Every structure is written in C-alpha cells, then in structure tokens.
Amino acid sequence: MYDLIVIGGGPAGLAAACAAWEGGLRSILIVERDQELGGILNQCIHNGFGLHYFKEELTGPEYAGRFIRMLSDTGVEVRLDTMVLEVTADRQVHMVGKTTGYRVEQARSIVLAMGCRERTRGAIGIPGTRPAGVFTAGAAQRYVNMEGWMPGNRVVILGSGDIGLIMARRMTLEGAKVLACVEVMPYSGGLNRNIVQCLHDYDIPLYLSHTVTDIRGKDRVEQVVVSQVDERRNPIPGTEMVFDCDTLLLSVGLIPENELTRQAGVEMDRRTNGAVVYENMETSIPGVFACGNVCHVHDLVDFVTAESQRAGAAAARYVAQNGDAPQRVLQVRNGDGVTYTVPQRIRPDRVEKRCDLFFRVNRICGDSEILVTSGDTQIARFKREHLAPGEMENITLPRVLLDKARDEITVSIREVEQA
C-alpha cells in the first residue's frame, strides 16, 4: 500500500511528488511510461521555461532537471517504462512494466498527471491524399531534438499555438524553409512573445483566418492548398494559395490524456476536457487529484508546477487526515467572455489564505476588468490591459472574499470603453 501514487513523471508529477514528500508522506510512487522522467520538457530544448518559478530563463530539460534533482533528495520511488492501464475509484492502480510485468498497487491517494497528446490530421479531417510528410508539431519536435532526424525541407505549419510557433523557428534553424504558418482563427493561439521571437524574427508569414483545404502528393507531400475562411470558418472559394512543400506540421490543439480519469468514474468538464476539480485539485473522487496538462492545457510550465504542488500538498493532507467531512461548496461559473475556470468548485473552509483561479477568455480584449460576482454582489475586480484566448489568465481570491460569497461565484470580463 502506497500513501500516494503519482501517474506521470512530467513536471506536474514531479512537483506533486516533491510537495507530498514535503507534506510528510513517506511512501510515494511515481509511475512513468517513458524511459526517463521530465515529460514533454525533455524535447523542448528552447529556453523560456521557469521565468516565474525560478526567475531565470531555462530550457525544458534544465527545468525538468531541477525537479529531478529535488526528487533524488527524497525517498520517492520511481517506476520507469511502466504504463498505467487502469485506475479504480477505490484507488487501485493497474500497471504494466518491462521488467516488473503486470502489477496492481493500492494507494491511499492518487495524483493524475498524465499530460496531454496532440490532435492529429484525423481529428480535424483535412481533405486530400494521404502521403508521408504530415506530422504533428510535437512529433517533429521529438524527431529533431531527441532522435536527430529532420522531418522535411519545405514546410507549412497549420495552427499558431505555441508548439507550431516554436517549430517554425526550430525547423528554420535546422536549415528548412518554413513557407507559412496558417491559423484558422482571426488571432493566434500562441503566446505573443512566441509570435515575435519565432515568426517575426525569421520573416515567416502568419496567415490568420486561413486554413489548409487540400493536401496533394502521392508518396510524399508535394503541395498544400491554403484558403481564407469566413467568420464561420468556412473556406472562401477563389482565395486558394498553393505552397510547394514536402512537409505539413500540425499544431491544432492538445487533448488532455484522460482515458484513465474517465474510466475511474471521475466527473469531467467538457470545456477543459479534464476533471472537474476543487480548490486543492481534488477531483470528484475523494483522494484522487489531477494537475498539469491532464487537468487543463497550460501555456507555461511554471503554472503547472504551482498547481501540482498544491495537488501534492493536498494529497499529503488527505492521507494525514484520512479524508474529512463535506464542507460548503461554491460553484465557479463562467460569465461573459470566459471559456472555463479551474478550479470549477471551491470549498472556502479549505482555503488557507487565498485561492488561485485560472481561466481563459473567448476573445481578444483590450483594457478590461475581470469581475467576480456572487449573486448581485461584486466581490472582486481586477484590471488587465490585454486578454487573449491563447494566454491563460489567473487571479487570486483571498479567503475573506470567498467567505462572503453564497453558493456560487461568476467570473466575467468587461471591456472598458475608451473615451
């Protein structure tokens, strides 16, 4: 019997395990299907990690390395090359490993930290032939940065999320010609700093409100056709541009890896595609926590770390207190302009001093106010000069304000009209 089993050894799993150890748990197991700890960070060799948490600019492997070192000072057990196949509501974890075979381990608490996977061509249904040369951006990143293979020479990138932008620069630095980055929405899904540093600095054009409408080629991609789309995202006939290329990289979204979560019977949020969580990242099954990209897709690993430390510390408290009585619950509602919030539920009595709340907006906004209301009463207001769907926002709500709220709070955006 373990006090805690952490599923996934990426930054979320590492931070949760370290925090649980600090919180007093001494029997912790991390299960990781890959051959090493670090998760997706191992293939992210660019810098830009850790600005918030370490106040330094680190590469992905450096950031992961710091947590792996912290972990090595603890007695946390790690099982690599081991895939978790099932998690049950009574906290049994079924796993299979190369050397250990099939095992079932019982845990007093579980942290789900399985990260996410990329959407593929099949998920978005691009028309055309089915030649080689169509990769997800993350797969191409792994080939270039870890396996030492170059996926192609003349590249079009569909999707302007961070992975697509990073790969536009990476492929250019490796000698490929990146002809275009194509985005179906009228705004980029990536961080502003990545648009500047990865596209503008290399004169790579970004076509907003455009999409790929045809892939041509028999054995290998020979051309992709890009068309402008209208406000309903339908291609506009007559706007086609043909790019002669051998590679199409897809950066069209991430899907949290929640097969285990659903199978365990955890309540899900269809907007985040992750578990519904309370303020301490506990799911609807007591003692089962979720954090990092498996819970909602993050842009910055620093926030993954902070959130996962909360989950690990809460798992330690859960084990120490052997669960505790149900408490007053506030539902967090999405008001105007807000796509989702995490957490979706808050138990004010469990909030020590303040509660961090993450959310995304559904449109680009200039000068704005983030309003937190409960019924007709405004309990908090925050100002922002710029909000964008590609940039996760967070606000901190002090416990005293949560104590004033009744049954639910609503987070909404109000754009401030310019005089």
Retrieve residue 182's tokens: 């194509």
In the region spanning residues 15 to 34, those forming contacts with ligand FAD, defined by CB under 6 A, are 31-34
In the region spanning residues 235 to 264, those forming contacts with ligand FAD, defined by CB under 6 A, are 257, 260
Does 138 bind ligand FAD (CB under 6 A)? Our answer is yes
Show the binding pattern over residues 79-108: x = contacts ligand FAD (CB under 6 A), - = does not: ----xx------------------------
In the region spanning residues 361 to 400, those forming contacts with ligand FAD, defined by CB under 6 A, are none
Residue of the chain from 4, 144, 166, 276 that contacts ligand FAD (CB under 6 A): 166
Report how far residue 94's alpha carbon sits from residue 84's, in angstroms, rounded to the nearest whole number: 6
By Cβ distance, which residue is nearest to ligand FAD? 10
Retrieve residue 146's tokens: 């870890």
What CA dihedral angle connects 256, 259, 264 and 267, to 10 degrees? 40
Does 119 bind ligand FAD (CB under 6 A)? Our answer is no
Give the shortest CB-301-to-ligand FAD separation in angstroms.
4
Written as one letter, the residue type at 238 is G
Burial 56-80, CB ≥16 within 10 A → b, else e: eebbbbbbbbbbbebbeeeebebbb
Does 49 bind ligand FAD (CB under 6 A)? Our answer is yes
Does 114 bind ligand FAD (CB under 6 A)? Our answer is yes
Give residue for tokens 């250990």. 100
Give the shortest CB-30-to-ligand FAD separation in angstroms.
9
Does 183 bind ligand FAD (CB under 6 A)? Our answer is no
Does 113 bind ligand FAD (CB under 6 A)? Our answer is yes
- Our separate counts of H helices and E strands in the chain read 9, 29
Q: Assign 24 to helix, strand or coil.
A: coil
Does 11 bind ligand FAD (CB under 6 A)? Our answer is yes
Residue of the chain from 109, 141, 209, 247 that contacts ligand FAD (CB under 6 A): 141
Report how far residue 166's alpha carbon sits from residue 159's, in angstroms, rounded to the nearest whole number: 11
- Comparing CA positions, the residue from 394, 311, 319 lying closest to residue 359 is 394
Cβ pair 243, 158 in contact under 8 A: no
Does 281 bind ligand FAD (CB under 6 A)? Our answer is no
DSSP assignment letter at 354 = E
Max intra-chain CA distance, the chain: 68
- Comparing CA positions, the residue from 124, 79, 76 lying closest to residue 103 is 79
Residue of the chain from 300, 370, 402, 413 that contacts ligand FAD (CB under 6 A): 300
146 vs 320, beta carbon nearer ligand FAD:
146
Does 289 bind ligand FAD (CB under 6 A)? Our answer is no
Q: Which residues bind ligand FAD (CB under 6 A)?
A: 7-13, 31-34, 39-41, 44, 48-49, 83-84, 113-115, 138, 141, 162-163, 166, 257, 260, 292-294, 298, 300-302, 304
